[in-house]
A and B are shown apart, each in its own frame.
Chain A
Amino acid sequence: MIIIAERINGMFTNVKQAIADKDKKVIQELAKKQTEAGATYLDVNVGTAAADQAGAMQWLVETIQETCSTPLSLDSQKTAVIEAGLKVINAENGVILNSTPLNKKTDDEIFDKYMAMANQAGPKASIIVLTMDKNGVPQDVDTRVAIAADAISKAMEKGFDTQRLFIDPIILPVKVPNAQVQPGNILAAMDQIRYLSEPAPHMTIGLSNLSQGATERSLINRVFLAMAISRGLDSAIVDVLDEKLMSVLATAEMLMNKQIYSDSFLKVYASMNE
């Protein structure tokens, strides 16, 4: 499982404060803790606090890489912010550009731009592609699959290795009127997306978004994670510091025969992702 750890995000108050105060310690501590807990990538999101988001992104990337070699996922809705992060990053072990829709009303070629950016960043740079286009986030199964298929064929046309793509079918909060059909739709979409290329494209989700505003957040997150892993999910943006969630992740992977069972399977899971 490719685990993208979500805690370095300006939406959290301690990170927001650290960015404002340029307090490296808080960020470096989070990088270390999340790496030890099994993170494959560390997500880096400046949030909305900083006036200079590009500058904040660069400061975060440099701060993390001073003490930690875990590859990063540069998370922003703004291309310029991701570009700023790429300027200062060491992408030798990989980097994820998180994320882009297939196209936008204002920019029909946005995905092509991201592929060019990834190629410039290095052969191990990947992209998260949202199943979203100029018409916004689709609510149904078929449109999600169609957008994913378009993204994959576009990548193939450009000679961009589909193993460097992460398809994100976009998970919405379950506690929104009429949204309860969405988790089921996402699972159904994943069932089809995994057959769009051989080998299957990576699929990822921003898991915590599912339980936004709900009670029993951790429970909701981990149950859905297990369900999605059974449909071929091989990556997720999660709270790696949630031990119960990580146990479910390890168990689901073992049950899907992705890891060989041993009596200590829970204990060794984190160390195997180092």
Chain B
Amino acid sequence: MPVPEIAESFTGSVNRVTLGTTKEHGGTRTSTVTVGGARNMVYGGSPDDAGEKPVVAMDVLDTRPDDWPDALIEPYRNVLDSPGDWAKKCVQEFGAELICVKFEGIHPDKGNKDAAHAVKVTEELLKAVGVPLVLWSCGYDEKDNQVMPKVSGAAKGESCLIGTVTEDNYKSLTAIALADGHFLITEAPLDINIAKQVNILASDMGFPLERIVTFQSTGALGYGIEYAYSIQERQRQAALAGDKMMAMPAICDVGYESWRAKEAKLANAPGWGDVADRGPMWEAATATCLLQAGVDIIRMRHPRAVAAVKNFINEVWQKK
């Protein structure tokens, strides 16, 4: 029986985004990262349609985490108090292509650190590593609006990926990110309609659609991953159908979400296997699943999970 021809041709594609400004172009980055460009679904069509390889952004926190399980603390034991050393370790030892600094410590409930602290961390990271940076707010609107514009300014001209902006809080960070030459992350709460609306709102402020990366929110394996999966898939389909308001590359937060799962961190769980393995496995499984739905940048935490996922990416996205 002949195999039916099911190749579909699409009119649209995912935008290509290049993060990081090198010295020749007035920045200080030693490498850049390009994502996006897919012209088909993952695994669909010819390898030429697959676009750029997805990349892993490894998380670094601005302050020492106080709620991480031992398995996650272990690889970073000596660097948790120094974001610069932490980032260096991720790049040099674990092969991180991007560093994502999460400004957890500025949250009123988690340290309430000020803008000067966040600026200092940003400058430290820019000095410590040459890869492009992702600068991620704490999620408390009032505090983010005070601090993130300063963070943006501290990395001016470096073409960082900065966010997140939401439907209810987008104006100040969108404006400053545009002025400072960054890329913007638009966030939606697993809601495709709001996701589109935030992109429209940012675009209405003059922010170029080609400089936006979307964050649809992430659910880990066992904790809503099917919602995240179907939204990522829908976003990709809309991009391929030519919807310019949905044609952005996507970022997801696998590290944080996976390590919230009790399966990833509960030590005393007979029959579940060694807790030292479970967390990295949970994180790697969540990441590979979402990669197949069509995400471009994955925030991750555990080096073993990162290694497994990078291996998966290299197997699937064979460089032409």
Contact = CB atoms under 8 A, between A and B. Distances in A.
Nearest to B194: A262
A264 B244 contact: no
A264 B196 CA distance: 9
Nearest to B209: A271
B238 A267 contact: no
B193 A261 contact: yes
A221 B243 CA distance: 26
**Residue of A262, A264, A274 ringed by the most chain B CB atoms within 10 A:** A262
Contacts of B194: 262
Interface size class of A (residues with CB under 8 A): 10 to 19
B41 interface: no
A267 B200 CA distance: 9
A157 interface: no
Contact of B238 (A260, A263, A264): A260
Contacts of B197: 262-264
B192 A268 contact: no
B294 to A, nearest CB: 15
A51 interface: no
Interface in B211-247: 234, 238, 242-246
A28 B238 CA distance: 32
Nearest to A265: B196
A240 B196 CA distance: 24
A262 B196 contact: yes
Contacts of B234: 260
A268 B234 CA distance: 19
A198 to B, nearest CB: 10
A260 B196 contact: yes
Contacts of A261: 193, 196
A274 B242 CA distance: 10
Interface in B124-149: none
**Residue of B192, B201, B243, B245 ringed by the most chain A CB atoms within 10 A:** B245
B193 A272 contact: no
Interface string A240-274: 00000000000000000001111110011001101
Interface string A13-56: 00000000000000000000000000000000000000000000
B74 to A, nearest CB: 43
Nearest to B246: A260
Contacts of B244: 271-272, 274
Contacts of A264: 197, 200-201
B193 A260 contact: yes
Interface in A150-164: none
**Residue of B194, B196, B201, B244 ringed by the most chain A CB atoms within 10 A:** B196
Contacts of B245: 260, 262, 268, 272
Nearest to A199: B8
Contacts of B243: 259-260, 272
Contact of A268 (B193, B200, B242): B200
A264 B244 CA distance: 14
B171 to A, nearest CB: 16
A117 to B, nearest CB: 23
A263 B188 CA distance: 14
B231 to A, nearest CB: 10
B242 A272 contact: yes
A260 B230 CA distance: 14
Given A267-B200, A268-B200, A260 B242 contact: no
B203 to A, nearest CB: 8
12 contacts: A260-B192, A260-B193, A260-B243, A260-B245, A260-B246, A262-B196, A262-B197, A262-B245, A263-B193, A267-B200, A268-B200, A272-B244
Instruction: Give the top 7 A-B pairs by smallest Cβ distance, nearest first.
Output: A262-B196, A262-B197, A264-B200, A261-B193, A263-B197, A260-B196, A260-B238
Interface of B: 192-194, 196-197, 200-201, 234, 238, 242-246
Given A267-B200, A272-B244, 18 more contacts: A259-B243, A260-B192, A260-B196, A260-B238, A260-B243, A260-B246, A261-B193, A261-B196, A262-B193, A262-B194, A262-B197, A263-B193, A263-B197, A264-B197, A264-B200, A268-B245, A272-B242, A272-B245
